Amino acid sequence: MRFEDFAPNRGRTHARHRPPESIAMNAHPMFSRLGLAALLAFASCARAALQVADPLPSFGSVPDSPPPTADRVVLLDFWASWCAPCKASFPAFARLHREFAGKGLVIIAVGVDDQDSAHEAFIRKMHPPFFTMHDRDHEIVSTVGVPVMPTTYLFGRDGRLRLIHKGFHGSQTEDELHAEIATLLKEGQ
């Protein structure tokens, strides 16, 4: 076939000179079903990301079991040892923990490093006073649909997601988290 065979013919389409887009519409039914299945799979994956009002996710088969979260405000953070903003966030989370843990805040920091040694070295260096766990197989991070490292999720006492913070921007993020946690802790008292 030549290019001219697919060129528009003054608004008329001849059976043997259909434009390329009509080829897809007349494709074999199997390809149409596969395309629909792929579209549905993509749509379900796109919804997999945690959204405001969603419940706190399950921690699945990760061996470390987190502290109780019922009737608590939960800060769920995803981090990696290679992530510079993650390193900067840990001292801020330690300050938030010291101020609010006695008032009902639980911090769960989920490391996603592939190697145990990188995860353990980070924890040894940072000495966090809050709970940390290692999602080595990326089970939790995949379920949540974490967009960037770090990402912090705040859940209210009702166990529902209230706020999502992508990245860590120093004192600005710490101040925002401080205010949001204080507000959430007051709810339901």
- Could you give the residue numbers annotated as active site? 83, 86
Give the integer Cα–Cα distance in Å for 159 and 39: 32
* Strand order, beta sheet including 131-134: 131-134, 105-111, 73-79, 151-155, 161-166
Burial class (CB in 10 A: 0-12, 13-18, 19+), 106: buried
Give the integer Cα–Cα distance in Å for 6 and 16: 9
CB atoms within 10 A of CB 11: 5
CB atoms within 10 A of CB 131: 15
**Where on the phi/psi map is residue 154: left (φ > 0), alpha (ψ -120 to 50), or beta?**
beta
Q: Where are the beta strands (DSSP E) in 49-187?
A: 73-79, 105-111, 131-134, 151-155, 161-166
- Copy the structure tokens of residue 46: 């796109």
